[in-house]
Amino acid sequence: MTSAKNGYNIYEVSKQRTRVLKQTNNYRAKEVKKLLDDRKKKVLQAIVEEYINTAEPVSSNALTTNHGLDCSSATIRNEMAELEKNGYLDKTHTSSGRVPSEKGYRYYVDELLNDKDISLEEIKYISSKLETKVNEIEDLTKIAANTISEVTHYTAVSIGPKTSNQIIEDIKFVLLGSRMMMAVILTDTGLVKETIIKFDEDVTQKQIETMNYMFNNKLKGQPIETIDRPLEDYLYDEMTYSVNVIKPVIEQLKKVIKEDENIYLEGANKSFDLPEFNSLEVAKNFVNILDTKEVVADMLNSGFAEDINVYIGDENKQDELKDFSVVTFKHKVNGKDLGTIGIIGPKRMDYSKVISVMKYINRKLKEM
């Protein structure tokens, strides 16, 4: 089943071939069917893939030489002119060749790309990387992001699951000294939050055991955001010792669950090898995006569960991302959000490779 939200196509990742719903806010289905006959599709696909490979405007001679289209150069030029007229291609000022427009890229992603563009060597490499033993789910998300960056040669970013959506499985307090205690919160996604709590008076092992019982009795099985409630209202009546002991526990637990989500960056230097980044403006914009945590977090959190999401240029919500394409997927197993991984790169992105690798990694993660 496929769906569309905010005008974007949503890839549902499954064992079946990816199905895509056409984006209807850019062009009507009848117009597309009328315009893009098989030959135009082949020409558009060849232009997109040639431009991805060379970063140079594509001429009819290049298509004839490199893509084996079964028609003359004159016919190809006519098809290119029609595709340009209907908004799928742009003509550069410095060359007679054409480059894909955002509309052309979108049609390519939706209709033409090969989503099994992954080699046996890449499959073996990905499998070996994902077999790395980890202690936390967040570490696995970081490894997956690193692997995607290594295979695709683009910059990958990842973020852990939203803390507020997670369920508390256990709270453990451990006495470290007469006035110091460690608190550990374990959630249903495997997330571990830990913090050190200091007291202004001595605490005993018996008090620690009592707090272990009280907090688990009240909070186990509840959303982690429950901790942000005024716990004093319903914990104090069960206490037989000083408020000075329980108050710092509550305050520190509230603080630790409100900590910013960790964002991990992999392969940032890879992007600067791409010709698009020869532009100082594009390079500075890219650096500013990676330095602005809110933009990256919003980019990663804009997708839908269990889907691969592709945003091309102006389809991105943030103005800072208008020169780039973003592809994301949520690492989700058995209904649990385990984090989101994204690729950010130029609009001339190798969508076939990126989507193929993401689909394979997403499937492998679900099998673990």
pLDDT value, residue 98: 92
- Between CA 242 and CA 69 the distance in angstroms is 83
- Please say whether the structural domain 19-112 has been given the CATH code 1.10.10.10: yes
**Token pair belonging to 360:** 């394979």
What pLDDT is recorded for position 246?
A: 78
Low-confidence ranges of the chain (pLDDT < 70): 1-35, 94-95, 134-138, 163-165, 228-243, 258-261, 302-306, 333-336
- pLDDT of 263: 83
Closest CA to 188 of 160, 224, 140: 224
Assign a CATH topology to domain 120-162+262-367.
Beta-Lactamase (3.30.450)
pLDDT at 249: 85
Provide the pLDDT for residue 54: 93
The dihedral through the CA atoms of 272, 278, 282, 285 has a sign that is positive
Contacts of 48 (CB under 8 A, 6+ apart): 100, 104, 105, 108, 112
The whole-angstrom separation of Cα 306 and Cα 358 is 12
| 236 and 243 Cβ atoms separated by less than 8 Å | yes
pLDDT at position 194 is 84
Domain 169-257: which CATH number of 3.60.15.10, 3.30.390.60, 1.10.3720.10, 3.60.21.10 = 3.30.390.60
Give yes or no on whether 19-112 and 169-257 have one common fold: no
The tens digit of pLDDT for each residue in 147-190 reads 999 999 999 998 877 766 688 889 999 999 888 999 998 888 77
Angle between helices 137-152 and 351-367 (to 10 degrees): 150
CA torsion sign for 260, 262, 268, 271 is negative
Q: Given this model, what pLDDT does residue 50 score?
A: 95
> Apex CA 179: angle with CA 173 and CA 180, to 5°?
40
| pLDDT (0 to 100) of residue 120 | 94
pLDDT at 23: 40
- Residue-range domain boundaries for the chain: 19-112, 120-162+262-367, 169-257
